[in-house]
Amino acid sequence: MVNYQPAPLDRVFGALADPTRRALLQRLEAEAALSVTELARPLPISLPAVMKHLDVLEGAGLIARRKQGRTVTCRLTAAPMEDAMAWLARYQRFWGESLDRLAQFVEDAPK
Amino acid sequence: MVNYQPAPLDRVFGALADPTRRALLQRLEAEAALSVTELARPLPISLPAVMKHLDVLEGAGLIARRKQGRTVTCRLTAAPMEDAMAWLARYQRFWGESLDRLAQFVEDAPK
């Protein structure tokens, strides 16, 4: 029933589970292409740490990197997010669910 | 710029990054409420392992548990998925992006 092979969705959701990686994607949403140095500049972490985060994002297919001489440029490749969003969309009918009904489920002690 | 406090989005995306946890949520999408035993039955992992996954799901606010005598019943609480989907929706304009354009970005060697 459950597929234990590393699935693309595991990698996408896993990549998005970190605030630094989400911040990197947000930078690349605002600007079409940025060098690793430009991406790292505002972050309070080391360049190797930034590069590890970029490895995770690339592993999930969320960014592409291109080498130009000594500069590595990154670009957003957001297509894998579509499957993640499709997965979440199945649960949309539950979002409007009454909080009262939920509180009742959690708190009601059986007689 | 980056918030290093554990953010709700970290927990939601982290919870969704595992195929067993996604399978548990899918069971609870199909049936309104299930006991831990019912949830564990089709899974090829131990009951304690299932309970750890349920802890992660509850920590992310994606399920609620209710104790009724010796039975613990679980129920989907999908509301936190809404923020996750809103986060992803910002990237929708990139999904239709031409693969040719991307291939060009990755492969073009500078002269």
ipTM (interface pTM): 0.84
Report residue A75's pLDDT band, with 50, 70 and 90 as the boundaries. Answer: very high
Cβ-contact A80, A9 below 8 angstroms: no
User: How far is the C-alpha of A73 from the C-alpha of A63, rounded, in Å?
Assistant: 10
The rounded mean pLDDT for chain B is 87
Sign of the C-alpha dihedral computed for residues B67, B70, B75 and B77 taken in this order = positive
Task: Could you list the beta-strand ranges (E) of A29-109.
Answer: 33-35, 63-68, 71-76
Q: A52 CA to chain B: closest CA distance, Å?
A: 16
Contact at CB, A64 and B23, closer than 8 angstroms: no
Residue of B nearest to A12 (CA): B17
Cβ-contact A64, A77 below 8 angstroms: yes
Reported pTM: 0.85
Contact at CB, B22 and A81, closer than 8 angstroms: no
**Who among B9, B75, B84 is closest to A88 (CB)?**
B84
